[in-house]
Amino acid sequence: MSSGVRLDVWLWSVRAYPTRSAATAACRAGHVRRGGVPAKAAQQVSVGDEIRLRFPGGRERHLVVTELLTRRVGASLARTAYEDLTPAPDPVLAAPPPRRDRGTGRPTKKERRALDRLRGRSSS
């Protein structure tokens, strides 16, 4: 076996992305970092490399390669190919957004500002 595997193939194999083309697109967009540096899809990954993935919504995963895979495998086998060092999400940010009762209309400006403060955003 070779000393490394293409980054996009490995990301697809461990089920980080649903398709290889999605993994390639994430690399092109700069959402994948290998060793703290933006990575290209064709870069070789080897055991011990640290991979950081950024997903929509601000989620981020931190993976350490423990096994090289070239084919997509089942989810239970895929989990053995990396060590997940991702910290637990902040429970405040993981909570579902508050819901309004039907028929109450749009929130007022005062209510929108209160919602923004609750979500930790700056209201402008």
pLDDT in tens, 24-70: 999 999 999 999 999 999 999 999 999 999 988 778 999 999 999 99
Domain that holds residue 116: 88-124
Same domain, residue pair 50 and 82: yes
Do residue 65 and residue 15 come from a single domain? Answer: yes
What's the pTM value of the predicted model, to 2 decimals? 0.72
User: Which has the closest alpha carbon to 60: 80, 104, 102, 90?
Assistant: 90
Query: 108 and 64 in one domain?
Result: no
Same domain? For 83 and 93 the reply is no
- Does 78 share its domain with 102? no
User: What's the rounded Cα separation, in Å, for the pair 81 and 50?
Assistant: 13
